[in-house]
Amino acid sequence: MPMMRRCLDCGALIQVGSRCRACANHRRPSWARTVLPADVKARDGHRCTQCGSTNRIQAHHIVPVEDGGPHTAANMRTLCHKCHLAEHRRLATEARVAFHDLALSEKFDRWRVEDLARHRPVRSDEEAAGGR
């Protein structure tokens, strides 16, 4: 028989994970439980700051929390669902491009070092010792 555990939120017995399906599906990040997103929406007039839509508005972190951005009203703006998705796609594309550029630069630097090492003029022992 598989080992049973208790859900961290409701105490129900579960076989896998740390939360039962019901609690896992309803769990929200701690910052989402605050009234801050509602304050941001009210500040922005319950309209998307990008296109002006009032349909399916959401609070968006300008600098993502995972990247060290604060969870403050100054770091948030109101976007409709469509603009919010587009913004996250743009950020993901920028991250991929930056990673690709970094990988290319590291590859180029490694190639350059190897190439310079191969083509470096080699001195004889006499030249290295100072005698000609």
Mean pLDDT by 10 residues, the chain (132 residues): 74 80 69 71 94 93 81 90 92 79 67 57 51 50
User: Token digits for 65?
Assistant: 């929390």
pLDDT of residue 34: 60
Residue 59 near residue 41, CB atoms below 8 Å = yes
Contacts of 126 (CB under 8 A, 6+ apart): 132
Report pLDDT for 35.
59
pLDDT at 43: 93
CB 84 within 8 A of CB 60: yes
Q: What is the DSSP letter of 103?
A: H
The runs of H, that is alpha helices, within 1-132 are 21-26, 36-43, 81-119, 125-129
